[in-house]
């Protein structure tokens, strides 16, 4: 595995748009929600509606945390590169005090792990 990883280059880029979604464990409690992307490209397997600049997610609620001051891109040679999401503990270290307060309040609302799953959605500034 290290042989492969040694060939990748990691670049730090400008910003990441961060959202957090609360997903109810009983799917019928979730609704298809269109979440604005602020002209950023979501990372992961989300359905992106280009004409309305939003992603479609089945969730009960979401919170836009706004932007954090960096993002990461992996590249392999000159012809392949991809923006990659950050693990939650790393992402959370870049939140400012206002974002931390909002996140704490949101997590408290959906703290019952038997009912809700919280997931970050990260979007790369294009």
Three-state DSSP at 75 gives strand
Burial of 56 (0-12, 13-18, 19+ CB in 10 A): middle
pLDDT at 92: 96
pLDDT at 56: 94
pLDDT at 3: 80
Angstrom distance (rounded) from CA 55 to CA 36: 7
pLDDT at 57: 95
Query: Is the separation of the CB atoms in 30 and 7 below 8 Å?
Result: no
pLDDT at 58: 96
pLDDT at 34: 96
Which residue ranges make up each domain of the chain? 13-69+85-125
Neighbours of 83 (CB within 10 A): 20
Low-confidence ranges of the chain (pLDDT < 70): none
pLDDT at 54: 93
């Amino acid at each position: 595995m290290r042989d492969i990883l040694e060939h990748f280059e990691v670049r730090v880029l400008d910003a990441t748009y961060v959202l957090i979604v609360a997903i109810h464990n009983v799917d019928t409690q979730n609704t298809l929600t269109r979440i604005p992307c602020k002209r950023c490209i979501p990372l992961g397997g989300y359905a992106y509606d280009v004409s309305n600049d939003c992603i479609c997610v089945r969730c009960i609620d979401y919170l836009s945390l706004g932007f954090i001051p960096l993002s990461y891109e992996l590249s392999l040679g000159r012809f392949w590169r991809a923006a990659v999401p950050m693990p939650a503990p790393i992402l959370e270290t870049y939140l400012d005090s206002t974002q931390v307060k909002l996140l704490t309040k949101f997590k408290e609302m959906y703290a019952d792990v038997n009912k809700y799953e919280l997931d970050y959605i990260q979007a790369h500034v294009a």
